[in-house]
Amino acid sequence: MGYVGLPLAVAFAEAGFRVIGLDIDGAKLAALERGESYVEDITSERLRPLIGRTLFTSTDFDRTLASADAAIVCVPTPLNKTRDPDIRALTAAGEAIARSLHPGMLVSLESTTYPGTTDELLRPMLEARGLRAGQDFFLVFSPERIDPGRKDFVVETTPKIVGGVTPACRDAGVALYRQAIRSVVPVSSSQAAEMSKLLENTFRAVNIALVNEIALMCDKLGIDVWEVIDAAATKPYGFMKFTPGPGVGGHCIPLDPHYLSWKLRTLNYNARFVQLADEINSGMPAYWVGRVQDALNGQKKAVCGSRVLVLGVAYKKDIDDVRESPALDIIELLRQKGALVRYHDPHVPIIRHDEGDLHSEPDLAAALGAADCVIIVTDHSAYDWQDIAARVRLIVDTRNALPKR
């Protein structure tokens, strides 16, 4: 019941289904039962009328799944320390469903994973007790396409890809999702659906890496990369605008391409574009820390002992999500160099950290005035860039947020 599960549950509940949100996190479920949303895309005002009427919560997996007509899996699928898929949560969810699987049940996996997961991992788990996919129950992959903070494309308005392990499975999945989502896109197999999701985010990762490298080139050449991008974007065909920044964040773009490259390594294929894109994007926080160091040197100050304020720590503007945010890397790199790092973010009051939590500065004006250098990492709409520029002695802008002088 996180960034993916809660919006999806709300969409089906508003469509008139009786929805039960399962989660192992009792604190989340307690908040939902109070009608309090912890996901910015779902307001508490929208949530409250549903609680206890069409939307319920539970931590009892066996009892809930035993009576469910459909189970939609939205568990996290991170990478482990070796950058390989960590499917422990997915496996646990599959085992829970397998215990309660019954004839006629539809199982849909939405968690992003490598091609073949639904058919090669989940299907054998579910068929172990004798029921057969496409005959006794239905199994599909339908990739989540949640983009936190968007208002134009949300769960209900974003086309939904559905691929089944059999044609009958696909048809059942399409029939379900059409009840709550305006446009459903059937594909020939679960593998095609899995690959489509990885293509979407690998496409973005590679193009972001390209424009990040163009930014590095322009820096070497003394050219304004933002002017170059804006000029190129005037071409009405054959060009799609991407912008450079401090790196990539969120659950999808930094992680999903690794699922693809991991799978291809098992087939003795080297996904070179994916690996190069990751190398470039992963190196951007260090590049911008270098720019902070150069800027301080220009003021005859060392990074060590300087007060650096990070503006914005969410991975993109106007959301509270810090998963894989490049701001976290920038903060850590600056600390390693001895900088006294603080941050301000109107959407993120606290960052949980093993070495001690960080809290957003309560007084932005005071924090700006006290800083030896400010680095803009996330260009939230709430910031008054004109006012910030007037208050700051030294500023490094990774997002081209400052007004042109």
Q: Which of 304, 295, 308, 316 minimizes the C-alpha distance to 358?
A: 308
For residue 286, give Cα distances in angstroms to 53, 282, 290, 292.
50, 8, 6, 10
Give the whole-angstrom CA distance, residue 163 versus residue 186.
Answer: 6
Give the whole-angstrom CA distance, residue 256 versus residue 197.
Answer: 8
If residue 70 lies in a helix (H) or strand (E), which one and from where to where? strand 70-73
DSSP 8-state code for residue 404: P
Active-site position among 218, 252, 304, 373: 252
74 part of the active site: no
Whether 314 contacts 322, CB under 8 Å: yes
Q: Which residues pair with 303 in a beta bridge?
A: none
Distance linking the first and last C-alpha atoms of the chain: 46
Whether 331 contacts 348, CB under 8 Å: no
Q: Which residues pair with 358 in a beta bridge?
A: 351
- Helical ranges in 130-271 per DSSP H: 167-177, 190-221, 225-232, 256-265
φ/ψ of 373, rounded to 5, equals -155, 140
| Residue appearing with tokens 């500065």 | 361
Whether 38 contacts 28, CB under 8 Å: yes
Give the whole-angstrom CA distance, residue 139 versus residue 100.
Answer: 14
207, HSE (Cβ side, Cα atoms, 13 Å): 12
Which residues participate in catalysis according to the annotation?
252
